Each structure stands twice: as C-alpha cells, then as structure tokens.
Amino acid sequence: MYNSALRQAVDRIIGRVQMPAQYLGGELNSVRKDRDQVRGRMVLAFPDTYGLGASQHGLQVLYSIMNADPQWACERAFCPWIDFENELRRDRLPLYGLESFDPLHTYDLVGFSLQYEVSYTNILTMLDLGGIPLYAKNRTMDHPLIIAGGPGAQNPEILAPFIDLFIVGDGEESLPWVMDRWMTAKEKGRSRLEAIAEIVGSTTWAYAPAFYEPEYHADGTLAAMNRTRSDVPREISTCQISCDFDAIPLPKKPIVSFVQTPHDRIAIEIMRGCPWQCRFCQSTVIKRPLRTRSVETIVQAALESYRNTGYQEISLLSLSTSDYPHFFELVNRMAEVFAPLGVSVSLPSLRVNEHFPQLPKLMKGVRKAGMTLAPEVARDDMREQIRKPIRNQDLFDGCRNAFAEGWQKVKLYFLAGLPGERRVDLEGIVDMADEIARIGKEVTGRFKDVTASVSNFVPKPHTPYQWNGMASREYLRDAGELMRRRVRHRTVKLKQHNIETSMLEGLLTRGDRRIAAVLEGAWRKGARLDGWGECFDPEKWWSTVRELNIDFDWYVHRHRPTSEVLPWDHINVKKGRAYLEKEQNRSLLQLEVMAKAT
C-alpha cells in the first residue's frame, strides 16, 4: 500500500529543495488506502504548485467524495517547483501520488483541474515526469485515462492532443461516473479507444478530442468540427448536479497542510453560480443555474470542519457571497456559533448593491483586516455596457461604514482594456481609489490603504465578448502609465497584471487546436510555472510563435464576426450561442451611444 523504495529515493534528494514538506504527503486528514483493497485508483492532479493547489476547494471536494466510496482510492499530485523537477530528472525518479508514492503512470485515472490557462505547460511537465506519454494517441490501456475539467475545459482545443477526455461542468457526479465506466471497460478488456468511445457515447458532457477533426477555410478560420465516428455526440453540453445542491456533501475533514499556503482556512461553498449576468464574466455563464445551500448545512459543515482541523478562520465562498438569498441570517448564525470559539469568518466576494452600505454594521463576526470588492469599472455608463449594475455612491457609503466599524483597508478589482474603454474610465479607477482613501481619513483621521488591482481584460469563450479582440500591448502599457501618474495619495497603490502574461493568456484562451504546437514547443524550450513572475520567460513563447509562423494578432487581437465558427462552439453552455450573440449586439449598440456622448 506504500511505495517505500520511491519514498526512500525521494528522501535522499529532498534536502536539496525548498520547502521539502510539500513533497512528502502524510498531512492531517489525508487518506491512504491499500491498493489491493480497492477496485480502482486515481490521482487528482493540480497543474501548479502545492502551495496553490493543496487548499483549492474543488480539489478538496472531489478528494472527499471519491475517498468516501470504498471502491476508489483517490490521491493527489502537484506540479513540482523547478528545483524539485531538476532533482527528479537528475536521479530519474518519477512524479508520484502523495499518498502512496506510486508513479503517476501506475494509476487507473489522472484528472487535471484546469483553473488558469497559463498553467498549461505544467500539465506537460506532470505527464512527462509521471512516465505518461504526452500525446493521447500514444497511450495504451496500460496507461491511466487522462481527463481534465474546470474553467479551462470551456475551450479544450489547445490541450486536445494531450488529454483523453474533458469533463464539462460539475464534477461531483461526473467524476465517479467516469471512473466507474473506465474501470468497467478495463475489466472487460476493451481497447483504449473503444473504452473512451463507450464513455462519451453514453453521455453528452464528456468530450474526447480524438473523435473530432477540425476543418479550416482557406483564410484559416474554422469551417467545422467534424466527428470521426457517429456514436459520439455532435455537441457537448454541461454536466449539472442532478440532486439537490444541499445533498452534495461538503468536505468535513479537509486536508491540513504542513506548510503555509495562501488559503490556510476552512472553505465552504455556500452558493454556486451568480444571479447577475455580467458580459465579461465566464464564471457566471458556465456555472448556471444558481444553486444554494441552506444556512444550517453551511453552519454544521463549518463546525465539523473546525473540529477536524483547528483552523481559526472560515471563508464563505461563492461568486457573489452577499447575493446569497439568506445572507443576513447566515452571517448572524455564523457569528453566534463561531465568535465564542474565537473563529473569524471572511467574505471574499461582496457585491456592491443597495444593501452594501448596511453590511458592515451587520457583520459583527467577520474578520475585519481588509475588504475586497470588485467594481470592475468606475463609471456608470461603462457599467451599463458591461452589464454590472452597481452605483458608486453605494460603494462609497459602504466603505465609509466599514471604516467606522473597524475595517483597515480596501482592495478593489478592476479591468483595463474592455470594449469601448475611454481615458475617463481609466482615470476613474484611480479617482475611485483616491476617494475611498479620503473617506477613510474623514472617518478615522488618516488615509486608509486602498489597492486598485487592475487585470488586463481577456475576452473569454462563452461570454458575449468572445467575438471581441483583446487590447494591444501598447494600449495596456499606456493605460497602466496613465493610471500610475494619476495616483495622488501615498496610501493608494495601483497594481497592473503583467502584460506579457495577459498576452499569453489571450493566446491560450482564444486559440484553436493548432496552438497546441506552440504549447509543446515552449515547454520543450523550458517554459515552466508561467503563472509565477520569477519563472515566466515570455521569449520562450514568442520565439516559438515566430518559428511556427503563428499569426499572434490574428488569434488574440482580431475582432471576429458573429457569423464565424469559433473553436469552442461545439461546447454548449446553459443559454447557448444565440443568447451570447444577442448580448454582444446589445453591447455594440450601447458602445455607439457612449461614443456619441463622448
């Protein structure tokens, strides 16, 4: 049940790497099962560092669900930091599951969580280190089934050569189903392709790229995505939990890491989906319909998790926590239960609405170090265009009350490069941050710390903006300089996301299957952990783009007509393409009105 030989080999090199505890497993509440006592074994593979992935809520949920079933053993693997990768390669040691230390290639199934496109090279690193052929076409039944899900599965084409099966939508019911079907096929002696075909032919939310062939027009645009066999679905729909959301168990014994992670706290998902329909937001589209848990389910899950971990903070998760329909009841109940225990509650996603100014006075049991808000833009007409109906006055009144109730700082999330953006929109970002800092001085006698974090907008698949081109490097660079020059108070910080990283995200988000060659080429040049500034080397990517004669602007900056077939059109979402096209046309009309008014 434990690969002691590999563990001993790892022990010999572990002293030469940073933070060795992240590679040794054995954490509180981790589950190790005897391989001879289960029907099948899988690894949840998070394609980034242990620090980012260990406390990721989705991984904890699926780990808990799979291990609750006695027929499955579910383990974890994370992308090693560069020093540990080098040590593994030098000693010819494989990447392994943390629970048993078995090499990745010995498991039945390996499932990747696609949270961020810039992490895609890490998938290739993990496959290669795990002894698994990079290309799906080179694998046999002796290799694990390689599946992937998460937001990145909404445009699966960039990873198509490397992934056997994509799961689109919720994983709580789909993952056990796929695991059962795969093991049944193995037990019956099916060939690999026939086993995968049987899986995708039995549902509508599993996509196997091997059975689809893209056809292109002479100008390079996609003509069609053709099936190579008739027993697989023509279009892929989204898997949605069939039972009541309250019935899906929350992880009551989350894994407690031996090393500090960015999210050292209990995480409870209180609501999935969002009642709003912002045009820039992919999550609100792909997580429909809106589903909620009851107050008592949330409180009891949090209480049991506290008893099993000892964490002193609980984070209530959703896309828009304050839109939870029983929000005030939940906040009061959490304070009633956890304040006597000395446990704080954090609300990482508050929406600015007409109720927001009253929230600080009601949130007595909530941690008050800082408040995080996402106004996205600073002017009302631009908010109407992106379809995020909030008011600046509600934001200012809420911050005023928050400072009076003891909050010390505010972090604001904005977007730069949105369709139709004007100079006044960029100036408004800084003006809003300055005004909140000034309100802090008015309330408490000193300017409060306000951080304006500006992301460079990437038009995402399955949003009304999917046809829009991304703003250029030059535009985003100039926008950042304009905003930085406008900052007036020293307590106001403006942080703009790295522009080259955003350009890479644009390519990997909006590309088609031909971009897979860029991904592999950059990886072979040494691209690793591209989401980390100290590791990211954009020239590895841009030189590969040039060598492969890829038209970067055509993929990233080109505005696409709504008549064009998009690389992800065969992946359907809740409201469908017609709804997105209607919203895009409405946006264009609003942009015309804004332009005339300027």
- What is the DSSP-derived secondary structure letter of residue 103? B
Judge whether residue 359 has pLDDT over 80: no
* Residue 534 CB-half CA count within 13 A: 2
Q: How far apart are CA 331 and CA 448, in angstroms?
A: 25
* Tens-place pLDDT, residues 294-339: 999 999 999 999 999 999 999 999 988 888 999 889 988 998 999 9
Mean residue pLDDT of the chain comes to: 93
pLDDT in tens, 124-173: 999 999 999 999 999 999 999 999 999 888 899 999 999 999 999 999 99
Average pLDDT over residues 439-467: 95
Cβ partners under 8 Å of residue 401, min gap 6: 357, 358, 359, 360, 361
Say what the pLDDT of residue 92 is.
Answer: 98
Spatial contact of 279 and 587, defined as CB atoms under 8 Å apart: yes
Cis peptide before 289 (omega within 30 of 0): yes
| Cα–Cα dist 391/414, whole Å | 15
Q: Return d(Cα 418, Cα 461) in angstroms, integer.
A: 15
* Confidence category of residue 529, pLDDT binned at 50, 70, 90: very high
| pTM, rounded to two decimals | 0.95
- How far apart (Å, rounded) are the C-alpha atoms in residues 132 and 419? 42
**Cβ proximity of 370 and 331 under 8 Å:** no
- 8 Å CB contact between 529 and 82: yes
Q: Is the pLDDT of residue 526 over 70?
A: yes
CB atoms near residue 432 (< 10 Å):
23
Looking at the DSSP assignment, which residues form a beta bridge with residue 111? 44, 147
Reported confidence tier of residue 592, pLDDT bands at 50, 70, 90: confident
> What domains are defined for the chain?
4-169+171-227 (3.40.50.280), 258-506 (3.80.30.20)
- Band (347; pLDDT cuts 50, 70, 90): confident
The predicted model gives 248-276 an average pLDDT of 90
> pLDDT per residue over 375-406, tens digit each?
999 998 898 899 988 888 888 988 998 888 88
